[in-house]
């Protein structure tokens, strides 16, 4: 007899006729052992067929407990793969219905047809877990149904993990000291099991520290960190932070330290003249725990101080200078320092300049150690100097002996090399100091570096080597700079007349400036330019209107790229606030200055790289004169270190590098020494990164290396646009003499 069977699984639909059976197919699932949570493999084996009448397809169901197994999967094995058959399964809860089938007549021979991979669940306590086989159907190649059954049930023997000890709190660590208003991090730790989260309560009994009410140690972790912040307080104390879970409490003591108070401000000397400076000291009640900015101000524009200074961590004081402008009559001035709402004031009496001028730096008693050098080459010899007050360079002096012959020409230069004035010496004596006055005195600004020079056409100049090695020379408002104050002060240039900027052994070539506070005192006087617009009312106000001087304000430095526009206002005003017209000189090619608006504008061309120093001058009908120069550095940002004779460490263990493009950015960046990168700038001292305090395009302040004074220091400056040429200098301190050249 015969009838039809329907074998249905997923997309497989076979109609098979029944016939007489000569054999019986059986499926048996092997047993295995394993660990909860780890994969276990079991073989599913076909048996009972013959070579000539092997099974063409077979269907079966795997049954298991979904609570005992977290995963069960089936993959084809050798007997299935060898017959070029496919294995397809359909999953439901606790069941996998699978079929081995293919659109070919190839027989599936006896053997392992599938591998069952099971993962025993860690949450089940059962140590013996079954996977059974049922609903077995098999078909021959001719479509007839073959009797089939499940022979064995697979059993998985499971090893359960030992019970973990209970998780308990073990420790709490917090900052040992918190300063008023500061924050920090605490870390709470636990021992034992890490498979479940732990909620930990947090508290502070003093209410002086802000803490979270609770934190959580997550599964798989043994600790967690949380932030704390100290409140503002004025007295020191100790706070205890507590962490609690399941009756276990761990604690950490934190010393709460009030911010140091500003206790005093002193300035010495208490009386200063026009252009002079007093050294002021702001003092704290104790050493600072971190960098503390102190705001500074004065009650008059006649006395200038920095806008702020910072007292370094570990230091209890900071010094700064208060500098007087032009003073016509004695008057008291107040310097005020403010820290955390507390202010302290010091009084400085401002007095008119008492030193008589015209004057020079060197007198008749200043004579060279070498009256005549053996050098016979034509050379321009110079001296860097500054004046404490604005005034006029009215002439040039130099010392000579009889071998120093030929025509001598004196010159005055700006710091950047702009020629400001020149004069040829006449009626010289054979030996001694010679003087020649400019036909028009040249206005110079206070506390600004200039170079005075003369040309010796046959050499034979007078010289003293190492004169400026450690100190400068000073007389009245004038000062010849020591080496390192603004580069070397032994400047010269061989060949044709040119700006002298080479240096050699801190030498003094005995060239000097003749200075006067006003345009008078020279062979000729300064004419008032009719081009300068004046406020007509100033002429009628009388001399009292000049009591506090005229002032020109313009940027000191600008850093720009070729093709980039620079624009700023250069304004002049009297202390009473009245505006005064100004003129610009030394403008770079292509630059403009609008006298109606006092606006300077310039877009440098591609071939205009370098330093430029336009000057802005104002003068009233009463003869009051003021000037300000702006150094404009044009380039592509490659850093360079200039004006460095040694790495000098101040009392705060901070050194200063001067230069150009010392940061690729144009802003200023402040740090506390905790980082070796500011504004994209890094400095390496002998190959090691230096902690940085301040970075601007023209200056870097850094912490000094721990080396003995006199040690050689290799300085490398790196920015986003390149690296500066390596500079090798000696290490200096305030208490150690600079090294010789």
CA 88 to chain centre: 63
Q: Which of 396-405, 457-466, 619-628 has the lowest mean pLDDT?
A: 619-628
382 close to 453: Cβ distance less than 8 angstroms? yes
Q: Could you give the C-alpha distances from 103 to 60, 82, 662, in angstroms and in order?
A: 18, 14, 78
Would you say residue 73 has pLDDT above 90?
yes
Q: Residue 225 half-sphere exposure, CB side, CA atoms within 13 Å?
A: 4
Average pLDDT of the segment spanning 629-657: 80
pLDDT band at 536 (very low <50, low <70, confident <90, very high): very low
Average pLDDT of the segment spanning 238-259: 91
pLDDT at 672: 81
pLDDT band at 549 (very low <50, low <70, confident <90, very high): low
Q: Which of 568-572, 579-583, 732-736 has the lowest mean pLDDT?
A: 732-736
Average pLDDT of the segment spanning 104-127: 87
pLDDT band at 56 (very low <50, low <70, confident <90, very high): confident
Average pLDDT of the segment spanning 591-602: 86
- pTM equals 0.30
Distance, CA of 647 to CA of 728 (rounded, Å): 9
pLDDT at 518: 64
Would you say residue 533 has pLDDT above 50?
no
Average pLDDT of the segment spanning 282-289: 89
Q: Which of 162-166, 489-493, 584-588 has the lowest mean pLDDT?
A: 162-166
591 close to 605: Cβ distance less than 8 angstroms? no
pLDDT band at 7 (very low <50, low <70, confident <90, very high): very low
* Pair of tokens at residue 549: 């001087």
pLDDT band at 321 (very low <50, low <70, confident <90, very high): very high
Average pLDDT of the segment spanning 216-230: 91
For the stretch 82-108, pLDDT in tens is 888 899 999 988 899 999 988 887 888
pLDDT at 739: 35
Residues in a beta bridge with 16: 5
Helix %, strand %, coil % of the chain (to 5)? 0, 50, 45
Q: Which of 103-117, 345-359, 476-490, 654-668 has the lowest mean pLDDT?
A: 345-359
Would you say residue 666 has pLDDT above 80?
no
For the stretch 378-400, pLDDT in tens is 999 999 999 888 888 999 999 99
* Pair of tokens at residue 701: 């302040």
| The 3-state secondary structure of 398-414, one letter per residue | EEECCCCCCCCEEEEEE
Task: Give the torsion through C-alpha atoms of 348, 349, 354, 359, to 10 deg.
Answer: 30
> Which distant-in-sequence residues (6+ apart) come within 8 Å of 67 by Cβ?
121, 123, 124
pLDDT at 352: 63
Would you say residue 151 has pLDDT above 90?
no
pLDDT at 620: 60
What sign results for the dihedral spanned by CA atoms 44, 45, 46, 51? positive
pLDDT at 544: 29
pLDDT at 723: 84
Average pLDDT of the segment spanning 174-194: 87
SS3 state at 422: strand
Q: Which of 153-157, 571-575, 702-706 has the lowest mean pLDDT?
A: 571-575
> Which distant-in-sequence residues (6+ apart) come within 8 Å of 155 by Cβ?
31, 128, 129, 130, 131
pLDDT at 249: 93
Looking at the chain, the whole-number percentage of residues with pLDDT higher than 90 is 32
Average per-residue pLDDT for the chain: 82
Q: Which of 261-270, 433-442, 469-478, 720-729 has the lowest mean pLDDT?
A: 720-729
Would you say residue 530 has pLDDT above 70?
no
pLDDT band at 181 (very low <50, low <70, confident <90, very high): confident
Residues in a beta bridge with 154: 131
| The 3-state secondary structure of 41-87, one letter per residue | EEEEEEECCCCCCCEEEEEEEEECCCCCEEEEEEEECHHHHHCCCEE
Polymer length in residues for the chain: 741
Residue 384 DSSP class: E
| The 3-state secondary structure of 322-358, one letter per residue | EEECCCCCCEEEEEEEEECCEEEEEEEEEECCCCCCC
For the stretch 492-520, pLDDT in tens is 999 888 899 899 888 999 999 999 876 65
Would you say residue 66 has pLDDT above 80?
yes
């Amino acid at each position: 007899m015969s009838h039809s069977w329907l074998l249905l699984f997923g997309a497989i639909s076979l109609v098979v006729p029944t016939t007489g059976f000569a054999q019986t197919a059986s499926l048996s699932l092997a047993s295995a052992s394993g660990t909860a949570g780890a994969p276990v493999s079991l073989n599913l084996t076909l048996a009972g067929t013959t070579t000539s009448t092997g099974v063409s397809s077979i269907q079966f169901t795997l049954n298991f407990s979904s609570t005992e197994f977290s995963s069960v999967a089936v993959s084809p094995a050798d007997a299935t793969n060898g017959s070029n058959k496919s294995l397809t399964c359909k999953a439901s809860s606790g069941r996998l219905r699978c079929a081995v089938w293919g659109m070919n007549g190839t027989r599936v021979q006896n053997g392992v047809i599938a591998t069952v991979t099971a993962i025993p669940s860690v949450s089940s306590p059962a140590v013996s877990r079954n996977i059974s086989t049922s609903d077995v159907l098999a078909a021959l190649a001719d479509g007839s149904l073959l009797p089939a059954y499940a022979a064995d049930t697979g059993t998985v023997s499971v090893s359960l993990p030992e019970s973990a000890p209970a998780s308990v709190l073990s420790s709490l660590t917090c900052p040992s000291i918190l300063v008023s208003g500061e924050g920090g991090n605490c870390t709470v730790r636990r021992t034992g099991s890490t498979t479940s989260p732990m909620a930990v309560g947090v508290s502070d009994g003093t209410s002086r520290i802000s803490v979270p009410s609770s934190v959580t140690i997550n599964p798989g972790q043994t600790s967690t960190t949380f932030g704390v912040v100290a409140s503002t307080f004025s007295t020191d104390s100790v706070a205890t932070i507590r962490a609690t879970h399941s009756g276990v409490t761990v604690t950490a003591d934190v010393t709460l330290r009030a911010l140091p108070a500003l206790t005093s401000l002193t300035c010495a000397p208490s009386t200063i003249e026009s252009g002079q400076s007093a050294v002021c000291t702001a003092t704290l009640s104790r050493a600072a725990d971190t960098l503390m900015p102190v705001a500074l101000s004065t009650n008059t524009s006649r006395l200038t101080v920095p806008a702020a200074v910072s007292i370094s961590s570990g230091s209890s004081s900071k010094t700064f200078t208060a500098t007087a402008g032009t003073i016509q009559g004695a008057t008291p001035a107040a310097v005020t320092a403010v820290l955390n709402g507390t202010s302290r004031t010091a009084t400085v009496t401002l007095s008119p300049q008492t030193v008589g001028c015209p004057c020079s730096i060197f007198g008749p008693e200043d004579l060279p150690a070498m009256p005549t050098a053996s050098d016979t080459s034509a050379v321009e010899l110079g001296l860097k100097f500054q004046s404490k007050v604005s005034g006029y360079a009215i002439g040039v002096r130099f010392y000579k002996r009889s071998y120093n012959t030929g025509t001598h020409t004196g010159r005055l230069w700006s710091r950047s090399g702009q020629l400001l004035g020149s004069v040829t010496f006449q009626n010289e004596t054979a030996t001694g100091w010679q003087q020649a006055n400019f036909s028009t005195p040249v206005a110079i600004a206070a506390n600004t570096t200039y170079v005075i020079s003369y040309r010796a056409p046959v050499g034979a100049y007078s010289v003293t080597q190492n004169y400026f090695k450690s100190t400068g020379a000073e007389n009245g408002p004038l000062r010849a700079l020591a080496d390192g104050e603004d580069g070397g002060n032994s400047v010269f240039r061989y060949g044709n007349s040119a700006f002298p900027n080479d240096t050699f052994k801190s030498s003094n070539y005995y060239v000097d400036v003749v200075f006067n506070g006003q345009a008078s005192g020279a062979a000729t006087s300064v004419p008032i330019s009719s081009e300068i617009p004046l406020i007509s009312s100033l002429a009628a106000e009388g001399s009292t209107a000049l009591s506090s001087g005229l002032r020109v304000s313009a940027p000191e430095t600008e850093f720009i790229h070729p093709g980039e526009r620079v624009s700023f206002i250069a304004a002049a005003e009297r202390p009473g606030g009245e505006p005064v017209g100004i003129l610009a000189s030394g403008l770079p090619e292509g630059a403009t200055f609008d006298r109606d608006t006092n606006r300077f504008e310039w877009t440098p061309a591609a071939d205009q790289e370098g330093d430029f120093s336009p000057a802005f001058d104002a003068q009233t009908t009463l003869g009051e004169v003021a000037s300000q120069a702006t150094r404009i550095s044009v380039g592509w940002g490659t850093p360079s270190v200039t004006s460095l004779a040694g790495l000098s460490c101040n009392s705060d263990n901070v050194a200063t590098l001067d230069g150009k493009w010392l940061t690729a950015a144009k802003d200023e960046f402040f740090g506390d020494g905790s980082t070796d990168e500011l504004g994209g700038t890094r400095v390496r001292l002998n190959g090691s990164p230096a902690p940085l305090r301040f970075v601007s395009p023209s200056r870097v302040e850094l912490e000094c290396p721990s080396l003995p004074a006199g040690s050689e220091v290799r300085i490398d400056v790196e920015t986003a646009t390149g690296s500066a040429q390596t500079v090798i200098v000696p290490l200096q301190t305030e208490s150690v003499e600079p090294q010789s050249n």
